[in-house]
Amino acid sequence: MCCAIADMIAMIFGTILCLNVATEEQIGWNTLFLNKMIPITILSWLFSVTYFQLYRVDVLFSLEYFFRNSWRAFFTQRILWHSYIFIFQDNVLYFFGSKANLFQLSFLLFYFLSSRILFTLVIGKIKGWVFKRYTVAIWGFNKTSIELASHLETNSFFIDFIGIINENSSETYTSNDNFSIALCEAIHNASKENVNELYIVSSPEFISDLNYFFEVGDKHCMRLKFVPDFSAISKKHFSSSHLNNFHVIKPRYEPLQNAYNRLAKRIFDLAFSLMVIIFILSWLYPLLAFLIKKQSKGPVLFKQMRTGKKNEPFWCYKFRSMYINMGDESQQAQKGDSRITPIGKFIRRTSLDEMPQFFNVLMGNMSVVGPRPHMIKHTTDYNDHIHNFMVRHFVKPGITGLSQVSGLRGETKKVSDMKRRVSTDIKYVQSWSLITDIKICFLTIIVTLKGDKNAF
């Protein structure tokens, strides 16, 4: 509550600071517009924090989640606030570069940085100030319970986590009756230790009569939560979610399944590709077109059917770097390939041949960052040898990707080479973030300037 009030005061103070400096600069806003600035600030901030559930406090509190949503709410409020100015004022470009806007933004950035640092220090001391703590424990010793314990310890700001209460026990259960007797005894013993909430992690085969166990927990004024242990089924990390009353288990977590993340990625793709097309391709295209046409006959652009998202084919565009009618087009380029033209060697080494793919990004066939698209034949061939090969096609293919900046670019002579690339692509699918995309773009520029030995 204190954090919410402080944030609102800071947002209002930032607006007042902005208006005072704007008045001194004589920006020329009318009185009716000025009178609405503070209400717009309050409404836009309330919308942002409500949308991202910034101040939701549960028994388990994730500091990382709070920080991430703090910045999401902040930037959303800034976008809404500036959109209001953009719509209702004519001299908006002057304001964006004015002292008023700079002072307000500097103050708010300083406040959010310092307040979150202070919040981190305070929340670490909260448990010491609480006289009667909320005690949480785990019963059941297995791989899943160990991972759960790690999660509870990380987010135990408002709870007193005492650990796995039977971690030193080597007892195994051969029947539901043995399991029920042991669990009832564990609930009884946990109540003597004043445990308020008990996580029961066990194999699904023993979780047969939940109502009975919940009644036992209720009698001891204890909250019970059952967590199925699937570690015996597979060693892989599953991702689980809820669909109404259904518990859904997925083989992996995919951030781009979230509509908000897909929208953010698409906006980034459009903005980035438009900047490249306007500021680079506008003069680079005619220059390379002249050199390509001068050195060999044929079209400036080379198009080839590639595998896209959902295994759907699309036409992928590149600057033509080879002589036409020079053998099998499905054959990968090799070092010293005689099919490559002189200008082709340069544009392939510098990755300039990929630049027309920004038009693919605009059309929605590709993304700036993602797994590189393969020829249809290669997709079919590798799918027969690599069991999870098609996972990389759950997202749009990219002009550059994590594999390319990790040294896995170029010809794949062996299946093991492709397996490493696929593994890296799947890692990208599972760990996507907008920051990751921006980082890969910067690394691509660095790798290109340094020179990639696999680019030929």
Where exactly are the structural domains of the chain? 2-123, 132-235, 259-450
How much is the pLDDT for 170?
67
For residues 119 and 283, what is the distance between their CA atoms, to the nearest angstrom? 51
Residue 89 vs residues 79, 85, 107: alpha-carbon distances, Å = 15, 6, 23
Cα 19 off chain centre by: 36
pLDDT at residue 25, as a whole number: 66
Kindly list the averaged pLDDT for each block of 10 residues, start to end, along the chain of length 456.
Answer: 85 85 67 72 88 76 82 87 72 61 86 87 69 82 86 78 81 79 89 90 81 89 87 66 75 88 93 94 94 88 93 94 66 63 86 94 96 90 87 94 84 76 93 92 88 59
Nearest to 268 by CA among 438, 111, 102, 108: 438
User: Quick one: pLDDT at residue 1?
Assistant: 72
3-state secondary structure 395-444: CCCEEECHHHHCCCCCCCCCHHHHHHHHHHHHHHHHCCCHHHHHHHHHHH
Structurally, at CATH architecture level, domain 132-235 sits in 3-Layer(aba) Sandwich (3.40)
Residue 369, pLDDT score = 96
Strand partners, 318: 302
Sign of CA dihedral 362, 365, 366, 372: negative
Closest to 378 in 3D by CA, of 344, 408, 336, 422 = 422
pLDDT at 31: 59
For residues 363 and 117, give the distance between their C-alpha atoms in angstroms, rounded to a whole number. 43
* Phi/psi of residue 97, nearest 5 degrees: -100, 10
Q: Is the dihedral of CA 150, 153, 159, 160 positive or negative?
A: positive
What token pair was written down for 103?
Answer: 């002072």
Measured distance CA(240)–CA(152) in Å, rounded: 17
> Is the torsion defined by CA of 27, 30, 33, 37 positive or negative?
positive
Q: 321, 299 in Cβ contact below 8 A?
A: no
Strands 367-369 and 160-164 come out as unpaired
**Where do runs of H (alpha helix) occur along 134-281?**
143-154, 176-192, 210-219, 259-276
User: What was the pLDDT predicted at 89?
Assistant: 64
Residue 351 corresponds to which tokens in the numbers above? 């990755």
The H-or-E segment that residue 10 falls in is helix 2-25
Whether the full predicted model's pTM is greater than 0.85, yes or no, is no
